[in-house]
Amino acid sequence: MEHLAFAIAMSNIAAAIALLNGLLTTLGQGGVVNHAIDAIARQPEAKGPITTTMFIGCGFAETSGVYGLLIAFLLIFVNPFVARLFDVFDALPEAAKIASSLLPFVG
């Protein structure tokens, strides 16, 4: 059972790291908007292209945050590692039977 607890703990840590992506994305978008506002203040006539480029960049950055959230949800709720661990544990008794049946033939 400690293997199961270890797999769940590692999955939760990985989900937390994936959620950090959203925090860092937010900080990056704040920097982009800050620089866009500075650029518009220096050149008000370039407001249209700067704003368009800013929104496209923020959209791409937000996609990264959404992917991190999706990965975190998959690790927390679906958790393929725990399902694989159950498959391995279910196969262990069968492998032990095969190994014990081969023991008389060895050596």
Distance from C-alpha of 81 to C-alpha of 5, rounded to nearest angstrom:
11
DSSP states along 14-76? HHHHHHHHHHHHHHHHHHHHHHHHHHHHH-GGGHHHHHHHHHHHHHHHHHHHHHHHHHHHIII
Ordered per-residue pLDDT tens for the chain, 107 residues: 677 778 788 888 988 998 898 888 889 999 999 999 999 999 999 999 999 999 999 999 889 889 988 988 888 888 777 777 766 666 666 655 555 555 555 44
pTM check: above 0.85: no
Domains contained in the chain, CATH given: 2-80 (1.20.20.10)
User: What token pair was written down for 26?
Assistant: 């937010």
